[in-house]
Structure 1
Amino acid sequence: MGVSDVNLTTKQMALVSMFAALTAVGAFIKIPVPYIPFTLQFFFVILAGLLLGSRLGLLSQIIYIAVGLSGLPVFASGGGIGYVAQPTFGYLLGFAAAAFVAGRINEKYSRDSAAFYFVCCLAGLALVYVVGALYLYLVMNYLAGTAFTVKQTLWFGVVICLPGDLLLCAAASSLVQKVAKRVRHISGGAAYK
């Protein structure tokens, strides 16, 4: 996507901003677990991808990350450029990838069923876990100097959060099936551009 390709309507800009803000709100709705807090962020990330499409869903997450890195405390544990050294920062990078991939799968295969949307969610979730767990392992072992095994990484970085994230996938899939046509109408068909 080049600079000349960025021609967003006011409605699209509003929706992108809204999903960036919802992702920030999701960071503060959390269940504390060791190392990785379980939040509602993934729910809003996946909604952004499925409802706005790959390009706008990705943009919403890039804006969210940029706002947090600029110093506003919109991440689950604060904000600022130093957040890149947090073990959980990889999950934020995974959010951007998840929004893009879920949106892209939806654009390419476009089936209006909760089961199809659930598959899109799972693809996004897999990316979040791969990027996030790898980042967690690297930061814990090489930056924090903590001996963190692959088993610990998988346990704390994937297994503990997986049941909740699967529930978020189910909820998002059901919601998208109900509202996708309305959002596409409001956004000027954003999911197809």
Structure 2
Amino acid sequence: MFNSEEFNHRKRNNYSLLIVHRPSSIVHRPSSIVHRPSSIVHLISPLFNYFVNPIKTVKNNSLPPQKISPINEFFFALIGLMLTIFGTFIEVFVVLPTSNDLENLKPSSLGITYQLAGVFFTGLVGGKNAAAYAQIAYVIMGLFKLPIFYQGGSFEYFQYPSFGYILGFIPGAWLCGFLVLPGKRRLELFAMSAFLGLLVIHLCGIVYLILYTFITPFFGNVLSDTYLWDAINWYSITPFLAQLALICAVSVIAFILRIILFY
């Protein structure tokens, strides 16, 4: 016998089932919209996360090995060459407050130029090949009478005691780029790579000073008994702290640029 009440009851139950299961497809749809960050947030969030929680960011910031294309290496080498040339003639100044009066701020020279900034920036951003190419081109151009060295430029620059430091730009920049690319994008790795590159430059410069001190007297040049120590003190010890401050600043800039460029 047909029971209208039972029919209506089943109909209501079936309709309720439809109501329960239909929203499930709607509930999961907004997830694709929620996880779509804007372009600005997508650029800023990695840098923000690094300074807010650096330990977690360092652990999750491992990058797969990426090889820079030859075209990009050429452009990075060209940029590094230009930065090294122009940085040779620009002195580094800092503004340190000496009193509470902010109107009387005076810049103080650190006694160095931005030359090393161009050397290590190329290695940190462009890699070992671009850094080495830039410095090889810099040395060759300076030896062939282009006035891009601090005291000019000619083939006679071999006679300058500081030429060993310029030759050290090549292995120092290469080592800096070798340790950074490809690898993990970490600020402390950037700073350590630039520091080791700086040590290589000073090592090459000191070895050249030793050879210069023992070979020069055979050509009739008379040097003082303390010449070697005085030269090491002048070229390596005195500017070393200022150079450390410079490469720390360069490491931070290169790190931020690498985050923006996503490599």
User: How many residues in Structure 1 have an aligned counterpart in Structure 2?
Assistant: 172
Q: Secondary structure at the match of 2:148?
A: coil
Note the aligned Cα RMSD (angstroms). 2.1
Considering only CA atoms, is the larger Rg found in Structure 1 or Structure 2? Answer: 2
Instruction: Give CA deviations for 1:29-50 in whole Å, capped at 9, x if unaligned.
Output: 247xxxxx73211111011111
* Contact map agreement 1:46 1:121 (CA 8 A) in 2: yes
- Structure 1 segments, 4+ long, off by >4 Å, are none
Pick aligned residue for 2:188 from 115, 140, 145? 115
CA deviation after TM superposition for structure 1 residue 82, in Å:
0.8
Match among 87, 93, 108 for residue 26 of structure 1:
87
Residue of structure 2 aligned with 1:162, choices 240, 249, 256? 240
Q: How far apart, in 2, do the equivalents of 1:59 and 1:125 lie?
A: 18
Which position in structure 1 is the counterpart of 2:131?
A: 57
Indicate if the aligned counterparts of 1:102 and 1:120 stay in contact, CA closer than 8 A. Answer: yes
Partner Cα separation in structure 2 for residue 135 and residue 114 of structure 1: 32
Aligned in 2, Cα 1:29/1:145: closer, same or farther, shift over 3 Å? farther
3-state DSSP of counterpart to 2:153: coil
Question: Which aligned pairs between 1:128-143 and structure 2 lie closer than 5 A?
Answer: 128-143=201-216
Which amino acid is 2:77 matched to? V
How many angstroms does 1:8 deviate by? 2.9
How far residue 181 of structure 1 moved from its aligned partner, in angstroms, is: 4.2
Structure 2 partner of 1:95: 169
Asked if residue 8 in structure 1 is aligned to residue 70 in structure 2, the reply is yes
Match of 1:86 in 2: 160
Cα 1:136/1:116, change in 2 over 3 Å: same
Equivalents in 1 of 2:143, 2:260: separation in Å? Answer: 33
Structure 2 unpaired stretches of 5+: 1-68, 93-110
CA distance in structure 2 between the partners assigned to 1:137 and 1:27 by the alignment: 25
Mapped to 2, the partners of 1:117 and 1:19 lie a distance apart of 17
Contact 1:137-1:149 within 8 A present in 2 as well: no
Higher relative contact order, structure no. (Cα contacts within 8 Å, ≥ 6 residues apart) = 1
Give the gaps of 5 or more residues in structure 1.
1-6, 32-36
- For the residues of structure 1 that align with 2:77 and 2:113, how far apart are their CA atoms? 20
1:172 paired with 2:250, answer yes
Q: For residue 150 of structure 1, report the CA deviation from its aligned partner.
A: 4.4
TM-score by length of 1: 0.80
Partner of 2:96: none
CA offset at residue 140 of structure 1? 4.2
SS at match of 1:176: helix
User: AA paired with 1:49?
Assistant: G
Alignment check: 8 A CA contact 2:172 2:197 kept = yes
Q: 1:74 to 1:93 in 2, by over 3 A?
A: same
C-alpha deviations, 1:65-115, integer Å up to 9, x for none? 11111110000110011112111111111111111001111125x232221
Task: Indicate whether 1:145 and 2:219 are aligned.
Answer: no
Q: Output the amino acid matched with 1:161.
A: P
